[in-house]
Amino acid sequence: MVKILIITYYWPPAGGPGVQRWLKFVKYFRDFDIEPIVYVPENPTYPLEDTSLLSEIPEGIEVLKQPIFEPYRFAQVFSKNETKTISKGIIAGAAKQSFVQRLLLYIRGNFFIPDARKFWVKPSVTYLQKYLSENKINTIITTGPPHSMHLIGQELKQRTGVKWIADFRDPWTTIGYHDKLKLTKRSMQKHTSMEKAVLNTADHVVVTSFTTKKEFKEITDTPISVITNGYDKESIPETVLDTTFTISHIGSLLSGRNPKNLWKALYDLIEENKAFSSVFRLQLVGAVSDDVLSSIREAGLSDFLELKGYVPHTEAIQIQRSSQVLLLIEIDSKDTRCIIPGKLFEYMVSTRPIIAVGPKGADVSRLISETNSGTFFEYQEYEKIKAQILEYFVQFQKGTLASHVIGVGRYSRKELTRVMANTIKGIIDGE
C-alpha cells in the first residue's frame, strides 16, 4: 500500500464543489492500493457547510489538522454579509459594488497573494516537514484553489525532495474572477511569477480541463494530465419526475453567469404559449447574485421563479433527477472556456437533458456533444435557445423527455480514481 499526503483547504464539513473532488478520490484510493493521509485546517472559515459529506470519509483515514489564521474573520467586522459573499465568489459588477466591497476586493487582491490562506503556508511547512520524515512519506499532492496550498507543496519539494503533484481544480491567473480583484500591475506580476514557479517545480501537474492544460503547456515543460471531475453512484431514494416543466440550475450563479437571452426566450414562450406558461417553473438551487436575480425579474419571470438556496448534496442530486431540464451556465469570457463544473457529470447521469450556455470554444460544449447529454449554446443564440426549450417542452407533453447519454462510464469517480492512482504510481516509479 503506497502512502501519500494530500494537502487541501476544503474538507468535510465544507460544502460546495471544492470539497467533492478529493473527498471522492480518498473514498476509492484504497481500492487501488493507495493509503491517503489528508492534511486540512483545524479552524477554517467555510462559506458553505454540508455535514452530510462527513459520512463519505472512509473509516480509519488519518486526517491531520493544524490551526490556520483566517483574515476573513477580521473582515467580517466591517461587513459580515459582504465578506461571506466575496468568499463564495459572488462579486457584483463594478457599477453595483459598495464602497466596502470595493475596499475588501482591493485588500484581498493586493495584500493577500495568492489568497487569504497564505498565512497557513509557513506553519504547515514546518509541521509537515517533520511529519513526512518521521512517517517516511515521499509523495504529496496539493489541490487548489486556494492556490496557497501549492506554495506549501513547493516549499516541501525544495526542502525535502518529495515527489509532488500539483492539482488545479481551477486555473490560477486566468480564473474568471481574477480581473475583479482590482490587482495592481505589481500584484498581477507576483501572481504570474508564483504560478510559473509552482508549475515548474512540481513533478507533475493535474488539471480538470483541456483548455487549462493547453494554457499551462505554454508556461512549463512539466508533464500535465487532464483528470476531470466526475459523478458518484449516490444512494438516494428513488425520485419522481416533477409534474411541472421544471428547468433547474444547481450551484452558484455569479454575476457574470447571466444569460439574458435565455431569460428572454423563457418569457417569450410564456407569452406565446399558454400551455407552457401553465406548467413552467424556473428553479434555482444555491447562491444567486443580485445582478442575476434582477435580470430574471426584469425579464418578467418573477411569478415563475423558485429560489431554494443552498441544499445538502444528497438533496441536490434528488432535485437534479426530478427536474425536467437542467441548466448549466458559465460566464461569457474566454477565461472561462476551461471551466468544467463537477455538477456537469452528475447532470449527465441524471438522464435529464442539459441546456448549457457559455463562451465559444468551451470545454463543456465538447463533453456535452461527446456524451449526447444535451445542447450547448453561446450567449447570443436567442432563437436557437428558444427553439430547443420548445422542443424539450413538446417532448415533456408527450411524456418522452429524457437524455440518452453515451460513454459516461469513464467519468465515474471510481474510474477517475483509477486514473489518478496510476498517475501517482507512475510518478513514484519515475515513469
Q: How is 252-295 classified by DSSP, letter by letter?
A: -B-TT---HHHHHHHHHHHHH-HHHHHHEEEEEES-B-HHHHHH
Which residues are CB-neighbours of 200 under 8 A, at least 6 positions away?
Answer: 219, 220, 221, 222
pLDDT, tens only, 176-206 = 665 666 778 898 899 999 999 999 999 999 9
pLDDT, tens only, 309-358 = 989 888 999 999 999 999 999 999 888 899 998 899 999 999 999 999 99
Flag whether pLDDT at 84 surpasses 60.
Answer: no
Q: Give the mean pLDDT of 10-21.
A: 92
Say which DSSP state 237 is in: P
Strand arrangement, sheet containing 280-285: 305-309, 280-285, 245-250, 325-329, 354-358, 374-378
Flag whether pLDDT at 109 surpasses 80.
Answer: no
What was the pLDDT predicted at 431?
Answer: 57
pLDDT bracket for residue 233 (50, 70, 90): confident
Q: Hunting for cell 475583479 — which residue is that?
A: 180
What was the pLDDT predicted at 18?
Answer: 86
Residue burial 227-249, b: 16+ Cβ < 10 Å; e: rest: bbbbbbeeeeeeeebbebbbbbb
Domains and CATH numbers, the chain: 2-230+412-428 (3.40.50.2000), 245-409 (3.40.50.2000)
Query: From the CB of residue 204, how many other CB atoms can be counted at a distance below 10 Å?
Result: 18
What was the pLDDT predicted at 79?
Answer: 45
Say how far apart CA 60 and CA 345 lie, in whole Å. Answer: 29
> What Cα–Cα distance (Å) separates residue 421 from each residue in 162, 392, 393, 413?
17, 40, 43, 12
Which residues are CB-neighbours of 221 under 8 A, at least 6 positions away?
Answer: 200
CA-closest candidate to residue 194, choices 260, 139, 112: 112
What was the pLDDT predicted at 275?
Answer: 97
Q: Which amino acid is at 256?
A: G
Say how far apart CA 150 and CA 142 lie, in whole Å. Answer: 6
